[in-house]
Amino acid sequence: MEQKHDLSATNSPVSTSENTGVWIYNTTSRQLDFKNDFFTILGLIRLGMRFASLDELRTIILADDKKAFDEAFNEASSGRKSSVTYRCRQFGGSQVQLESTFVPCDSGVVAYTVNRNKIQ
């Protein structure tokens, strides 16, 4: 049974806008569930960046930023809200700087993500 999440800005524990992409990591199934056209909102489709799992996301995070990403994600997995800024690179050299706020939820972790590069 799929768990439904209310991700409206009024119920969000972080400030959101139309430029915020949301994904939910379910700790039981180890699945990512993308909300609100995540890749389009963040301009990632235009850059050829896509991922379907947390492991795939980690493969495109630059090595210098993986430790900070993992620490912030693990903190949220332990029940504490955390934030991290990290850079991702996809095939062909496209690079983007993302900032995610991780918030614990009943099923795992919700990530509210913004693109810190100017989207054109």
Query: What would the pLDDT profile of 27-85 be if each residue is shown by its tens digit?
Result: 999 999 998 699 999 988 888 888 999 999 999 999 999 999 999 999 999 999 999 99
Residue 9 lies in a domain: no
- CB-based contacts of 14, cutoff 8 Å, min separation 6: 81, 101, 103, 112
Q: What is the distance between the alpha carbons of residues 84 and 25, in angstroms, rounded to a whole number? A: 16
31-35 and 20-26 strand pairing: antiparallel
Q: What is the SS3 assignment for 65?
A: helix
Residue 33 lies in a domain: yes
Q: What is the distance between the alpha carbons of residues 36 and 15, in angstroms, rounded to a whole number? A: 15
Band of residue 90 on the pLDDT scale cut at 50, 70, 90: confident
pLDDT value for 17: 57
The mean pLDDT of the chain is 85
Residue 60 lies in a domain: yes
Domain count across the chain: 1
Q: What is the distance between the alpha carbons of residues 9 and 25, in angstroms, rounded to a whole number? A: 19
Residue 96 belongs to what domain range?
17-115
Compare 11 and 92 and report the one with higher pLDDT.
Answer: 92
The counts of H helices and E strands in the chain are: 3, 5
Residue 5 lies in a domain: no
CATH of the domain at 21: 3.30.450.20
pLDDT value for 119: 52
- Residue 82 near residue 107 (C-beta atoms within 8 A): no
Record the pTM.
0.82
Residue 8 lies in a domain: no
Band of residue 18 on the pLDDT scale cut at 50, 70, 90: low
Residue 88 lies in a domain: yes
